[in-house]
């Protein structure tokens, strides 16, 4: 009886223990299920947050510009004369009005309160005949051409001081060439048109009189033993007809003089020969029956913006012609109005410009982006004067109603458009439209080039050559390792290849840039020889293996055949690179690189796509190999044994059963490897030279989206156009990877459904 009781008790305890274990197991399953669900949702949430953050940073690039009226007031100090032009300092606090009586009125830009009035030092009895602003317009330099053949240059200055922690800006005038007017025409003829260029230590003045064009140069020369520098003056005159000349311009480099004719012609005078200027080009820059109504240099003075009577503004720039000579050519045009263009004002720091037509319609454009940013009516007729502030965030306009209007301009990122990002753009000084990425320069007159096309091209090019090397090696290795290799050898081979993936990519990039690139450059013929000799060496070894005595063959463990190829591969590689230099000398009479360049016109950069393909392929191989090998090894054994039992050979079983069944996993391996190659940063950063060129040659460098972000993001100004374009590059990379992986997943699922019944 006691035995029965004990048995019952033990059975009850066992049941309780089993029930407790089941509950604990179910609890753990539920917890893990929820943890996995939360983890998966967290990943999706993180991806969505990354996407919307990138979109948030990029979105302002494509916002429309706007202009808003802030205030208006009566013309300050009307008794000072009629306005020739307006100016405004960088902080948009103080403006200046230059009048036809030789006065400069300084006033508060937002209120019109007069701060000071300065009179230009002009001799008594002499009149102002002509006046011109310096370039860039708004830098404060102005020249006055006088009726006695003299000229005087003044420059406005704004001294910033702090009084009781309050900023104070004090305006004043400076005379760069001295207060005494400079004699341009010794006969005293009036200077009807005038232009100038002043820099540290030099000045050039061009003036038109009734019968000639005078060019005066002043240069400071510092003697080694003198305390003060002497001024050397050079005078020259152009022997051309001047009756039809309506305007004169000199570029900031003091190399070219432009003469505007009333029939729409433009003459380009070469000033490189100081004592003998010569005509370089004479062209028609407007359509037939049209006249030039306004003309201005674009910032940098590499291009002229020419407005005509039809409302067209065309951009003309110096480019090299077919013979390599500089020539003036139209690179783009803007239809800004149906009326004549009355004024063109260019921005001081960007390649933008403002136009005003005879009906008072104002427009702001960006030349590089070929983008119309603002269109606004600011008057009923053409304004008397209009100016953009140095930062292009404000505008002063004087209308014929005797009022000055102050406008706020919101135009943060005019350089960006779909054309400037993805299409060919004709940049200044380039012979033709091109895809260019060049985001910065030492000069403030630089034209930013934000084409993403060469970066996308470089990304795909690097990934293509990496996959070209990685896919055959990794997939063939995975097939052999999973299906043909001895289990004992697989224990060593698979972890050895997978551990390659643990190598830091910065080490691979370092080795590729400092060792592999110079080595391939020196032994280029050896590399190509290796591709030819290695298959031959393997085939010869395999053929020789067939003629071994049967007793010797039996000594080779089954599945260890591949180990015998290791010394064959090493010896073949050593032989290929050993004979590379003598082979180049014998066959190509020099180096293979020189032969490519001279015979085929193919250049060679040391850090090129070939180096990247080898280095990045080495980094991608472990990823593809590991996933593909697992997929092949996981094919159910009953499928392979059934195929072999039905009389199929091992290769037939592999190609028609195993690979088809494992195809979803193999496809996933290739796609993951491709994503790894597209997003790689350090290898392409250190081994490509980072040249954003579009060249399919394997011997040329490249720049990828990821490497470009890594290089330039630390140096970009937060919220600048450059900063946001780099985020746009990241968004493009993100979207490309997401779309490509989504399509890959769709293909993988279809492959799984198709071959799941095997």
For residue 638, count other CB atoms closer than 10 A to its CB: 9
Burial of 710 (0-12, 13-18, 19+ CB in 10 A): middle
Residue with token string 């753009």: 425
Q: Are strands 150-163 and 166-174 parallel, antiparallel or unpaired?
A: antiparallel
Other Cβ atoms closer than 10 A to 132: 26
- Angle of CA points 326, 328, 334, to nearest 5°: 145
Can you give the residue ranges of every domain in the chain? 18-62, 66-78+299-436, 122-284, 456-517+606-755
Residue-level pLDDT at 668: 85
Q: What is the pLDDT at residue 199?
A: 77
Cβ(321)–Cβ(327) under 8 Å?
A: yes
State how far the Cα of 734 lies from the Cα of 110, in Å rounded to an integer. 46
| C-beta neighbour count of 182 within 10 angstroms | 19
Which one, of 316, 314, 310, lies nearest residue 337 by Cα? 310
Rounded-to-integer distance, Cα 68 and Cα 406, Å: 9
Q: Which CATH superfamily is domain 66-78+299-436 in?
A: YVTN repeat-like/Quinoprotein amine dehydrogenase (2.130.10.10)
Output the furthest CA–CA distance in the chain (Å, rounded).
Answer: 146
- Stretches where the chain sits below pLDDT 50 are none
The tokens describing 677, both together, are 């190659």
The confidence score (pLDDT) of residue 599 equals 79
pLDDT of amino acid 63:
86
Burial of residue 368, with CB atoms counted within 10 A of its CB: 0-12 exposed, 13-18 middle, 19 or more buried: buried
In this predicted structure, what is the pLDDT of residue 9?
A: 62
- Dihedrals phi, psi of 14, to nearest 5 degrees: -65, -40
| Separation CA 426–CA 756 (nearest Å) | 55
Contact 258, 215 (CB under 8 A): no
Q: Which of 214, 171, 217, 169 is nearest to 191 (CA)?
A: 214
The pLDDT tens digits for 223-239 are 555 556 677 888 888 87
Task: Please tell me the predicted confidence (pLDDT) of residue 442.
Answer: 58
Q: What's the rounded Cα separation, in Å, for the pair 22 and 16?
A: 10
Strand 385-388 with 394-398, pairing: antiparallel
Is the CB of residue 605 less than 8 Å from the CB of residue 699?
yes
**Looking at residue 10, what is its pLDDT?**
63
Of the candidate CATH numbers 3.30.465.10, 3.30.530.20, 1.10.3720.10, 3.40.640.10, the domain formed by 456-517+606-755 belongs to 1.10.3720.10
pTM of the model: 0.85
The Cα 310–Cα 336 span in angstroms is 9
């Amino acid at each position: 009886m006691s035995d029965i009781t004990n048995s019952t008790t033990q059975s009850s305890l066992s049941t309780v223990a089993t029930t407790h274990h089941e509950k604990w197991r179910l609890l753990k399953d539920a917890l893990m299920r929820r943890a996995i669900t939360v983890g998966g949702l967290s990943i999706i949430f993180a991806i969505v947050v990354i996407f919307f953050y990138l979109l948030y940073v990029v979105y302002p690039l494509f916002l429309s510009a706007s202009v808003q009226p802030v205030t208006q007031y009566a013309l300050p100090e009307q008794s000072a004369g009629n306005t020739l032009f307006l100016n405004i300092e960088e902080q948009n606090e103080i403006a200046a009005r230059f009048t036809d009586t030789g006065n400069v009125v300084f006033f508060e830009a937002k209120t019109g309160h007069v701060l000071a009035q300065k009179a230009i030092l002009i001799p008594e009895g002499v009149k102002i005949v002509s006046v011109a602003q310096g370039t860039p317009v708004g830098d404060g330099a102005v020249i006055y051409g006088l009726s006695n053949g003299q000229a005087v240059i003044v420059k406005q200055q704004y001294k910033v001081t702090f009084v009781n922690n309050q900023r104070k800006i004090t305006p004043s005038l400076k005379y760069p060439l001295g207060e005494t007017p400079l004699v341009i025409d010794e006969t005293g003829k009036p200077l009807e048109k005038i232009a100038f260029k002043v820099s540290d230590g030099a000045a050039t003045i061009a003036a038109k009189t009734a019968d000639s064009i005078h060019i005066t140069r002043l240069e400071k020369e510092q003697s080694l033993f003198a305390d003060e520098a002497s001024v050397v003056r050079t005078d020259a005159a152009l022997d051309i007809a001047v009756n039809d000349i309506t305007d004169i311009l000199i570029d900031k480099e003091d190399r070219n003089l432009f003469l505007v004719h009333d029939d729409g012609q433009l003459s380009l005078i070469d000033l490189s020969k100081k004592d003998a200027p010569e005509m370089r080009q004479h062209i028609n820059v407007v359509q037939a029956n049209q006249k030039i109504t306004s003309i201005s240099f674009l910032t940098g003075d590499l291009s002229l913006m020419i407005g005509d009577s039809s409302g067209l503004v065309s951009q003309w720039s110096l480019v090299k012609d077919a013979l390599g000579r500089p020539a003036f050519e139209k690179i783009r045009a803007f239809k800004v109005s149906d009326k004549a263009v009355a004024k063109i004002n260019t921005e001081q720091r960007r390649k933008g410009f403002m136009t005003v037509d005879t009906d008072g319609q104002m427009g702001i454009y960006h030349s590089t982006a070929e983008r119309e940013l603002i269109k606004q009516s600011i008057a009923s007729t053409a304004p008397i004067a209009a100016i953009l502030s140095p930062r292009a965030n404000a505008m002063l306009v004087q209308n014929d109603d005797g009022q000055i209007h102050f406008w706020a301009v919101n135009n943060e990122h005019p350089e960006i458009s779909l054309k400037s990002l993805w299409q060919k753009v004709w940049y200044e000084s380039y012979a033709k439209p091109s895809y260019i990425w060049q985001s910065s320069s030492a000069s403030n007159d630089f034209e930013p080039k934000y084409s993403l096309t060469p970066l996308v091209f470089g990304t795909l090019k690097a990934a293509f050559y990496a996959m070209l090397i990685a896919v055959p090696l990794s997939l063939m290795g995975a097939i052999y390792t999973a299906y043909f290799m001895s289990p004992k050898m697989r224990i060593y081979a698979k972890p050895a290849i997978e551990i390659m993936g643990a190598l830091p990519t910065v080490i691979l990039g370092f080795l590729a840039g400092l060792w592999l690139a110079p080595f391939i450059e020196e032994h280029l013929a050896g590399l190509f020889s290796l591709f030819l000799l290695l298959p031959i060496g393997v085939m010869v070894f395999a053929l020789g293996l067939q003629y071994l005595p049967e007793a010797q063959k039996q000594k080779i463990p089954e599945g260890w055949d591949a180990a015998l190829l290791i010394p064959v591969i090493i010896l073949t590689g050593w032989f290929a690179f050993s004979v590379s230099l003598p082979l180049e000398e014998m066959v190509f009479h020099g180096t293979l690189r020189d032969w490519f360049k001279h015979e085929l016109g193919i250049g060679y950069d040391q850090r090129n796509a070939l180096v990247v393909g080898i280095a990045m392929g080495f980094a991608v191989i472990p990823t593809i190999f590991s996933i593909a090998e697992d997929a092949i090894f996981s094919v159910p054994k009953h499928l392979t044994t059934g195929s072999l039992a039905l009389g199929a050979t091992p290769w037939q079983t592999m190609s028609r059963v195993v690979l088809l069944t494992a195809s979803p996993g193999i496809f996933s391996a290739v796609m993951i490897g491709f994503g790894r190659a597209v997003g790689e940063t350090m290898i392409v950063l250190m081994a490509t030279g980072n040249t954003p060129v579009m060249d399919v040659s394997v011997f040329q460098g490249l720049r990828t989206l990821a490497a470009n972000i890594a290089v330039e993001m630390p140096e970009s100004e937060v919220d600048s156009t450059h900063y946001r374009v780099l985020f746009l590059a990241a968004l493009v990379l993100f979207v490309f990877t997401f779309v490509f992986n989504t399509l890959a997943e769709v293909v993988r699922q279809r492959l799984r459904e198709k071959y799941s019944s095997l």
